[in-house]
Structure 1
């Protein structure tokens, strides 16, 4: 009887170890540096303490950090992190989290107030996502018009074209990459994305990677060679 129980328990342990090994592998994976020499991270809003020197030592060449969320929320540690990035040897870029529920012009103005115009900054980025705090689904033509206004306002401030970060589902719903002639930041775990209407300039290759220097998983990104 005991021998009969031992066999399925052994199988379960083996399966558990296999799953654990796969998860550990997924949290450490990143695309080949030989193919994509420039790689870096993006972090969620208010990510907690970050040791930027350790992040640099983990292989990141650049970091995108959230500056603003909609028209009314700003990242608590944006200024401190923004100032610390060059000293750690990292290129820096700012991200705005776009809300489908708030006026685009107000969001652009909020971003411009928080993010300074500096020559060493990477192009700013706007993230357009379906979010649990906003159920609105505007007509595609209206959203595209709103985004054009947002982009022109931010670009007048930063002096550089804005990166548009959009997932497959959002791009399918609104046709953003086809309608907006801007560099695309594509999103897709592990598999190289092919959904954008124009060639992507940056790819978030995984949002599961764990590196030293941060408290949680980070977005790991590569620049098109």
Structure 2
């Protein structure tokens, strides 16, 4: 009986040590992922030659020549949101990015709370239709309490459709649609396939077939040189094509 008790104590000590080690390993891995040191999609995205970032005021003051040297080819810059909000860093970012050899575009964050026509007017007022820049982007995703209480498909499209139409008329090209896989399935389906698709999938490759998307946001946890804002991470993206094909998407 004594030998059994000793053996049981050893087993319990070994089990406790193994569990503690496992918890430590999991904790370290989680910390590395959270800080962007490890990211599952980096390997999956490494087969694409054309890479880029998307930025907003959260990245703070951007040194565009430094950021442009970080093995990237394009940059999307937040311009507007809803019918009146303008990103406080947009003008500086737009001018700074255009002074580099990056292919540059601007994006508008879709609001579910104001008409599409006034949202389009907000973006048009801020973003010049500059030849050689990418078509405007409409970022359509859940935000705030709308994730739990979203609009209906009809309500969403009543805002989105005139927004897209007015932007296409002004810029002369179909706007790019940025969205998540869940949002696309629920609200968009294949009814907007005449718009280039920028899909967010930061855990694995997109569920959307590769031939259906042009841009893939594969990470929101990268760290590059060239910016100093409250957000230390930066979003990374790839384009499914060559640099020449990306440039062919730009405005005339």
Q: TM-score band, normalised by the shorter chain?
A: 0.7 to 0.9
2:59 counterpart (47, 50, 55): 47
For residues 44 and 98 of structure 1, what CA distance do their matches in structure 2 show? Answer: 15
Which of 79, 84, 89 is the matching residue for 1:67? Answer: 79
Aligned mates of 2:19, 2:70 — CA distance in 1 = 38
What SS class does the counterpart of residue 25 from structure 1 fall into?
A: coil
User: Which residue matches 2:139?
Assistant: 127
- Following superposition, the deviation at residue 124 of structure 1 comes to 1.1
Structure 1 residues 9 and 152: alpha-carbon distance in aligned structure 2, compared to 1, 3 A threshold: closer
Q: CA deviation at 1:194?
A: 2.0
Q: What are structure 1's unaligned runs of at least 5 residues?
A: none
Match of 1:103 in 2: 115
Q: Does 1:217 align with 2:233?
A: yes
The verdict on how the C-alpha distance between 1:22 and 1:112 changes in structure 2, with shifts beyond 3 A counting, is: closer
- Inter-CA distance 10–129: structure 2 relative to 1 (3 Å threshold): closer
> 1:118 Cα deviation (Å)?
0.5
Corresponding pairs, count: 220
**TM-score between both structures, scaled by the size of structure 2:** 0.76
Q: Judging changes above 3 Å, is the alpha-carbon distance between structure 1 residues 85 and 145 closer, same or farther for their aligned structure 2 residues? A: same
Q: Alpha-carbon deviation of 1:142? A: 3.7
SS at match of 2:78: strand
Structure 1 equivalent of residue 9 of structure 2: none
Q: Which has the larger radius of gyration?
A: 2
Q: Which moved more, 1:45-54 or 1:108-117?
A: 45-54
Cα separation, 2, equivalents of 1:145 and 1:19: 41
> 88, 91, 104: which one pairs with 1:79?
91
Equivalent-residue separation in structure 2 for 1:37 and 1:120 (angstroms): 20
Distance of 2:27 and 2:58 partners within structure 1: 33
How far has the Cα of 1:203 moved from its partner? 0.6
Q: Out of 182, 198, 202, which is 2:195 matched to?
A: 182
Q: Out of 145, 149, 157, which is 1:144 matched to?
A: 157
1:4-58 C-alpha deviation (Å, 9 max, x unpaired): 7xx579836555544444551229936555x311110012345311121221121
**C-alpha contact 2:59 2:234 (8 A) present in aligned 1:** no
Aligned residues of 1:42 and 1:63 also touching (Cα < 8 A): yes
Shift of 1:105: 0.6
Mapped to 1, the partners of 2:158 and 2:67 lie a distance apart of 38
**Unaligned ranges ≥5, structure 2:** 1-12, 242-252
Q: Please tell me whether the aligned partners of residues 44 and 205 of structure 2 are also in contact (alpha carbons under 8 angstroms).
A: no
Shift of 1:173: 2.1
Following TM superposition, by how much is the alpha carbon of 1:116 offset from its aligned partner in structure 2, in angstroms? Answer: 0.6
Cα deviation code 1:168-221 (max 9, x no counterpart): 2212221x1412231111110141112479701111011111111134211111
